[in-house]
Every structure is written in C-alpha cells, then in structure tokens.
Amino acid sequence: MGKGFTLKNAEGRDLADMFHEAFQRKKLNVKVTAILNDTVGTLVSHAYTNPACRIGLIFATGINAAYPEKVPNITKLDQDIRNKYTACTEMLINTEIDIFGTEAYLPLTKYDLALDLSHNQPKFQLYEKMLSGAYMGELTRLIAMDFIEAGVLFGGQIPKGFDQPWSFPTKHMSTLESDTTKEKEASQKILSEFPITNKPTLDDIAILTRICYNVSARAASLVAVAIISLVEQQNLLNQDQIVVGINGSTFEFYPHMDERVRSALNEWYGKEIARKIVLEVASEGGSVGGALIAMLCK
C-alpha cells in the first residue's frame, strides 16, 4: 500500500496463515485469532470506553476510518452470507478512505499534482496526499518555493537544501505554528537547517507560518469531510451525541488541529448540529482494540 514496504509473494495470501508459518519456523507458541487494522482497533477500543462511539479515525502520517455498517448493506458480501444475518446486524468496516477520490472531483492544486508526480505511487491515495502528516511538509515547501521565486520570501534566495524534495518535514510546520515568541527563536532554529546569506526576517517567518496554516487548515477541512461522510452514511444526525474516536500524531500534536476540524464541521452543519459530533482522542486505540477483539474471538 502506501507505507513504503515491499512484501514479495504476499498478495492474495491469508495473512493469518503466513503468521502461523512464521511462528512455526521460530518455534513460537502463538496463535493469530483475529486480523484487524488500527482504524478498526481504534473504533473498538473507544467504543469499549464510550459506547456512543460510531467512528474510529486515524489521522497521523496517513488517514483512514472505520465504522459499523448493517450487513444487508454490504454488497461486497455474497447474498447467501448476508442472508444469514438479521437486518440490524452490523459488521465493522475498514473503509480505506485514504484511497477514495480522483482528479475528477478532488480540489487538487498544482502543488498537489507536483507532489503526486514526485511520489513513487502516482495517482494513488490522492486524498491522503492532500492532508496527512507524511505530505503536509512537502506541500508547504512547494508553495514556499513559488513565493521565493516570486521574490516575496527570503528575498528571492533559495536557502541551501530547501529546493530538495521532501526536505521540509511536517514537524517543522508544527514548530512554526506553535512559536509565539517575539523573536521567533524556535522558528529561526528550524530555518537554520537551511543556510542562507541573509538571516530570515520576521516577515519571512510570518509568510512561511501563514503557508503552514493554510496547508494545515485545508487538511483539517478534508479530515472533516471523512467524518461527515461516515455520519451521513450511518444517518446519525438524529442522535443526541455522535462520538468519533481519533488516534494519530497529526491530530493529537499538531497545533490547533482539533479546533480546525471542529471549525470545518461547524461550517458544514452549523454549530447547533455540529455540536452533536464529539471528537475524542483514542490514544493507543489500535493495540487496545486488537486485544479486545482477540479476547472476544471464540
């Protein structure tokens, strides 16, 4: 998928069988009782502590979401399997929402297209590339390069190394946006990694910080779209409270990210309806959820 791993001869095989074969080779008495990803784990673990949880969301280096769907609606299952369950029986769905969306309707900018072109999997996970922690820094760098070439940032000089793709990580954005000091000491330290003849001015830092804000605010709005789509899919707006369990470093640690997601929800639904949607941090949800599901398996 999109995590940079190369796994030969794995496609089409049962992962549980592969794990068991590996455990046997190592003479380990371990049995796989369930296979799930972190989104399903987050949903299960947070629903264990808060039964009102209906969506599990990961927002970190990537994005994904899980939700419970009524079995009769899951057309991917054969009809004879669906017929075995009542109309209200639900199955947890790993949406792989990161791969949803195409150029036909995603609001892609020239910077999104440039990033995608430089990626080793072009045209794949376009939605994720617009918003996740793995990509926000590169989007910021691409925009900043345009500002430099226009002569409005760093006096038109390209700092050493700044023109290299993927040289500006998302953690630098976080530092810039959280720097409230008068002289922007933390920001200056970050920019010192990219030597330049003239020290960046406070105006330079303000411009770059504003670019960071625009990139991260757009990311928050796109994350809100994922939440909204799953709220609508489940017809949850008639409930008093809709809990979303969220796990992931970008949501938890990027400055003001939770506020920006909330703002996007307010913009879509209006505050009166959006207040029903409760965003709760579900730290370590993937591992705890895995333990709970393993415990429930017979």
Give the CATH number of the domain where residue 172 resides.
Answer: 3.40.367.20
4 inside domain: no
Identity of the residue numbered 233? Q
Higher pLDDT, 13 or 128: 128
What is the per-residue pLDDT across 35-69, written as a single tens digit (0 to 9) for each?
899 999 999 999 999 999 999 999 999 999 999 99
Residue 101: per-residue pLDDT: 86
Residue 284: per-residue pLDDT: 79
Residue 296: per-residue pLDDT: 87
Residue 2 has pLDDT above 60, yes or no: no
> What CA–CA distance (Å, rounded) separates 69 from 89?
8
- Domain count for the chain, please give it: 1
In this structure, what DSSP letter does residue 10 have? -
The share of the chain scoring above pLDDT 90, in percent, equals: 87
Pairing relation of β-strands 277-281 and 242-247? parallel
209 inside domain: yes
Q: Taking all residues of the chain, what is their mean pLDDT, rounded to a whole number?
A: 94
24 inside domain: no
* Count of alpha carbons within 13 angstroms of residue 257, beta-carbon side: 28
Residue 198 has pLDDT above 60, yes or no: yes
Alpha-carbon torsion (100, 66, 60, 207), positive or negative: positive
In this structure, what DSSP letter does residue 72 have? G
292 inside domain: yes
What is the per-residue pLDDT across 269-281, written as a single tens digit (0 to 9) for each?
999 999 999 999 9
- E strand map for 16-159: 53-59, 63-70, 90-94
> What CA–CA distance (Å, rounded) separates 253 from 242?
23
Domain, as residue range, for 261: 38-298
pTM of the model: 0.91
298 inside domain: yes
50 inside domain: yes
229 inside domain: yes
53 inside domain: yes
Residue 4: per-residue pLDDT: 63
